[in-house]
Amino acid sequence: QKEVEQNSGPLSVPEGAIASLNCTYSDRGSQSFFWYRQYSGKSPELIMFIYSNGDKEDGRFTAQLNKASQYVSLLIRDSQPSDSATYLCAVSPFSGGYQKVTFGTGTKLQVIP
């Protein structure tokens, strides 16, 4: 079983719709959760992080965390063609000091104009 699992996609949504990206993780000790966006041929860039159960909103992005069910999701409202990218979920147990982050393989999102 992979430590961090994501559906590889592609997930296709029409422009203006809500895109919902999901991630499950196996380590119950995980405490920090990150969403990165990676455009084709580029490096990952952080969208947001979350470490408390519930929702965290930042502009059009909302991260949702449910530690009991061991999943984290990212909602993108009013999706734009520029949101078309691969979204990486990253999970860390945060044992202090070194931040051991495990990445999922990513979900490819396509926003159709």
Partner 1 sequence: NAGVTQTPKFQVLKTGQSMTLQCAQDMNHNSMYWYRQDPGMGLRLIYYSASEGTTDKGEVPNGYNVSRLNKREFSLRLESAAPSQTSVYFCASSVGRELNTDTQYFGPGTRLTVL
Please report, as ranges, the residues that interact with partner 1 according to CB under 8 A.
Answer: 4, 8, 31-32, 34, 42-46, 49, 51, 88, 92, 94, 96-101, 103-106
C-beta of 50: minimal distance to partner 1 in Å? Answer: 10
C-beta of 94: minimal distance to partner 1 in Å? Answer: 4
Structure tokens at 31: 């405490």
Structure tokens at 47: 């969208």
Of the two residues 72 and 79, which places its CB atom closer to partner 1 in the complex?
72
C-beta of 23: minimal distance to partner 1 in Å? Answer: 12
Structure tokens at 24: 């499950």
The whole-angstrom distance between residue 6's C-alpha and the CA centroid of its chain comes to: 9
C-beta of 89: minimal distance to partner 1 in Å? Answer: 10
Residues 6+ apart with CB under 8 A from 111: 12, 13, 14, 15, 19, 79, 80, 81, 82, 83, 84
The one-letter amino acid at 84: S
